[in-house]
Amino acid sequence: MIPYYSMYRCNLGSFVDFAFRELHPGERMEDNWHIRVMTDMLQYLWIHPDPEMTRRLIFNLPPGHLKTHICSIAFPAWVLGRDPRKSVLIVSETPDAALEIRERCVELMNTMRYRTLFPRLKIVRSGKEVELNYGGRIRHAGAGYSLPARRSDLVALDNPQSLHNLERFDPATFVELGRTLRDPREGMIVLATRRLGSNDLSAYLRGLGNWGCMAMPVVSMRDMDWPGIYNRGHLHRKGEPLHYWYEGWDQIEQRISEIGGDAFSWQYMQGMYTPQTTGQRPYYKDGVQAGVLVGTFDPTWVTREDFARLREGYESEYDPLRSPAA
C-alpha cells in the first residue's frame, strides 16, 4: 500500500487516475498518451521553476478529453496536498461554474483515501472560500467579475469563454491575471479550454508572447512528436485520433455532422484545419479521384470529405485496433 501512496504523492499522472476513481466510483478512466504529456508538463513546471520556460500555459483540447479534471480539479488538489500553505484561484465563465469546479476539488479532498494520502492537510472552513489548516486557500471567480484581492500561487482558468460571449468578450481583462499571483516568478497560471475562433482568449494570450501552448487536435493533420518528461512521449501520427479508445473515427465523423465544419475546425481541431469554401478541389469516387469541382463549397461537406480521405490514409497504413501501448 505504501509504495502506491508514494507514487500518487510524487507523480501527478498517477494522482490524476487516483482522483478520477475517487470522484467516479465504478467508472474507469481510459489512460491515453495526452494525459501523460499534460501531467508531465504541469508537474515539471510546478516542481522545477525554470527561468527559460514560461509558467503560463494553455492547453487547447477538444471537449470531453479530461482537461477540466486534469488541470482544474486534480492538479490543484495535488498541489495543496503536497503543500497546504499554497493558495489556488479557480476561474471559469461564471462564478457558479467556477464554484462547481471548486466543489469537485473539495469533494476529492474530503475523501478518506485522499486524507490518508495527504494526512497533513485539513479543511478548516468552507464558505465563500475554502480555508486550509496551514494557511492555504481555494478561491473561485467568474471571468470578467472582480478577482479576489488576495494573491494566489496557482490560477486555474477553466473554459472561461464560450460561443455565447465570444463577440462581447474582452480578453484584455485577463492581462491583470499576473497580478493575482503571490510571486510572478514562481506562481503558475494554467488555461484549459477548447478553441472557439481566431479571436478567442487563447489567440489573444498567445499573442502576448509570454504564454506557452499545447494544442492537441482530435485528429492530427501531420506527424507530431510529443516528448515525455517522467513518462514516455508519443508520436501522434497523421490521421490518428487523439484518444482512439474514447472517441474514434466513427464518433469524429458524427461530430462533424452534428456541429458543422466551421465549428469542428476550431472546437475539435484547435484551428489546425480550415475547410476550403471556394476555388477548385478534387472529388473522389470509390477512393479514386473522379474529377475537379469549381465554385463555392459547404464547409461541412468539405470537412466530411477531407476527413474521410484522412481516415482512409491512416487506416490503410496503421492498424486502428492496435494496443494503446503499441
Mean pLDDT confidence for 39-59: 89
Per-residue model confidence as pLDDT tens digits over 78-122? 999 999 999 999 999 999 999 999 999 999 999 999 999 999 999
Yes or no: say if 320 and 312 are a contact pair by the CB < 8 Å rule. Answer: no
Q: Which residue has the cell 475547410?
A: 275
Smallest CA-to-CA distance from 171 within 210, 142, 211, 143 is with 143
pLDDT of residue 246: 84
Q: Largest Cα–Cα distance in the chain?
A: 71
pLDDT for 322 beyond 80: no
Provide CB contacts within 8 A for 280, sequence distance 6+: 292, 293, 294
Per-residue model confidence as pLDDT tens digits over 265-276? 999 999 999 999
Where do the structural domains in the chain lie, given as residue ranges? 2-217, 249-317
pLDDT of residue 131: 96
pLDDT of residue 6: 86
Cell for 173?
A: 481583462
Q: Which residue has the cell 490514409?
A: 313
- Alpha-carbon distance 167 to 164, whole Å? 8
pLDDT of residue 268: 97
- Fold classification of 2-217 is Rossmann fold (3.40.50)
pLDDT of residue 320: 52
Q: Which amino acid is at 138?
A: I
